[in-house]
Structure 1
């Protein structure tokens, strides 16, 4: 093992919300770079969360991290419960006495988006809307409050707030409905604020968004698998720009391994942007720029996907 092949060897990371999708992809790629990765979530082999998917569990994610070359540690955690998050921090502190990377990827609200898609605020079920804010905003605040005292114990910690959309894209576009818009813009602002607070500790805080993500849940919605995902483009041609969770995972791993990552602090970044900077590709060898394509498509409906892969 060398620092070239395992640049994160000896580093300790926490991926909050690592059951599936971007969180799982990030955890596995941090493991591939040699990190010990604590993975959290509400779906275990014994219990299913409100998302209702028993097919992905945090234990499975931890096993994938270990198989990739790191050490995966599954800790069932509801990030809306401060005492559970504090117990998680105490465990990491007891085991290692440090934390180098915090990835805040808690969400689990996709089942709430569909019924409220495109609806006015007063037309949306209020409990569902507020639940989106709990899952996408409150969980991140609870986690940062409990975890950051351990992260700042050593200089140079990294915080990654995972969201949907870059600051530039979201600034002029309304994201589905008021509650979803708030839930996905809040992490961008959180990263900006935490960058200010972590500066004196040499810390870096950024927000990172994948593009159109081929998560397990998304593939199931289109009735395809990772092997035949392009079949979905027959009904939705734009899906051709979709990326796998490996891509955003490699983006975060590249950030974590960059000794000069502080140059990004406070910024909103995308997997495609970071791929162009660090030179990695998606699992299939392509380098999709989903946000660039979606912007181009707004003025040119015939924009070529291939020009953005």
Structure 2
């Protein structure tokens, strides 16, 4: 098995489910040691009250061919993040890849509600979970990352810079959160460059996360049934697709060419040649601009 990340150490902050889980598993398939952090464990659930756990993610990393290490961490707590990084340094002596994927805003966003009507408490909590967690994690983890040239920071968001700059994301708080992460990657790229390290912002397309599948009452096995409710779901992708994007970035000796850029899974699939689990290459953001947003009938022909 080709494992280009053999000997590499990764931290996926927010690996309990969704994109974080998909990324952790694909890094494992590439041979990496992956620290999988989140708040939900077998013994304790976060306010999401969902069944997915970090132990389950770590097991999936192992099954894929890597080494998965599950650690319960609240990334809003600086002391917990500091202890996490100290443990990684003690056990591995290095950190080659940091994926800031902490989010937590699904239950807090009020869509199509103006800021003066949106719950202020929920909105500010969303911003703390989406932005503060990333800053806190970078603050403590990047000193370890820059000890070795070639380190990579991936800031996970929703939407490309081009798309988000041109479109309102249906909530001031959501819009601000996802746009801020892109700018955060750009700023950190400036700070990491002198250390021969790279930072990028990365977005999946329409993600078939566990929560999204539940919303439509389908499973991964019959996800296309959801197109009866939402025809444009035809462009959706698995979390493993963006996971493969991260794995290819981490294995690219010329990854610095992307420094500071806003990237997408569909864009990188064309560059690196990887596919989603079904062999397709969904290009969701081009589809959004050219098909969904103009109100054309759902048709993914030529987009996956």
Contact 2:10 2:98 survives alignment (8 Å): yes
Q: Supply the distance in 2 between the matched residues of 1:178 and 1:14 (Cα, whole angstroms).
A: 30
Give the C-alpha shift of residue 300 in structure 1.
5.5
- Is 1:10 matched up with 2:7? yes
Partner of 1:241: 235
2:85 maps to which residue? 89
Structure 1 residue ranges, 4+ long, deviating more than 4 angstroms after superposition: none
Checking the alignment, whether the CA contact within 8 Å between 2:232 and 2:299 is kept in structure 1 is no
Which of 74, 79, 89 pairs up with 2:75?
79
Indicate yes or no: 2:84 matched with 1:105.
Answer: no
In structure 2, relative to structure 1, the CA distance for the partners of 1:240 and 1:303 (3 Å cut) is: closer
Residue by residue, what CA displacement relative to the aligned partner does 1:6-61 show, whole Å, maximum 9, x if unpaired?
Answer: 100000000000000000000000000000000000000000001121x2000000
The alignment partner of 1:108 has SS state of: coil
Matches of 2:189 and 2:226, distance apart in 1: 39
> Where does residue 60 of structure 1 map in the other structure?
56
Quote the offset at 1:171 in angstroms.
0.4
How far apart in 2 are the matches of 1:240 and 1:25?
20
Displacement of 1:109 in angstroms is: 1.3
Q: Which residue of 2 aligns with 1:148?
A: 142
SS of alignment partner, residue 43 of structure 1: coil
CA distance in 2, matches of 1:45, 1:300: 44
3-state SS in 2 of match to 1:212: coil
- Aligned residue for 2:214, secondary structure, equals helix
Q: Secondary structure at the match of 1:65?
A: helix
SS of 2:107's partner is helix
TM-score w.r.t. length of structure 2: 0.98
Q: How many residue pairs get matched? A: 303
CA–CA separation in structure 2 for the residues paired with 1:256 and 1:32: 13
Tell me, in whole angstroms, the C-alpha distance in 1 between the residues paired with 2:56 and 2:123: 30
Alignment correspondent of 1:191: 185
Q: Which digits, 9 at most, give the CA deviation of each residue in 1:183-218, with x for residues without a partner?
A: 111110011001100011100100000000000010
TM-score, length basis structure 1? 0.97
The alignment partner of 1:246 has SS state of: helix
Which sections of structure 2, spanning at least 5 residues, go unmatched?
Answer: none
Structure 2 partner of 1:162: 156
Q: Deviations over 1:95-143 (max 9, x none)?
A: 0111000000001111112xx1011000001000001101100100110
Q: Does 1:201 align with 2:195?
A: yes
Check conservation: 2:24, 2:243, Cα contact below 8 A.
yes
Aligned residue for 1:301?
Answer: 296
Q: CA RMSD in A?
A: 0.8
1:299 positional shift: 2.9
Paired residue for 1:210? 204
Structure with the larger helix share: 1
Q: 2:302 is paired with a residue of what secondary structure?
A: helix
How far apart are residue 302 of structure 1 and its match?
2.9
> Which whole-Å CA distance do the structure 2 matches of 1:275 and 1:170 have between them?
21
State the 1:147 CA deviation: 0.5
Distance 2:18 2:295 in 1: 30
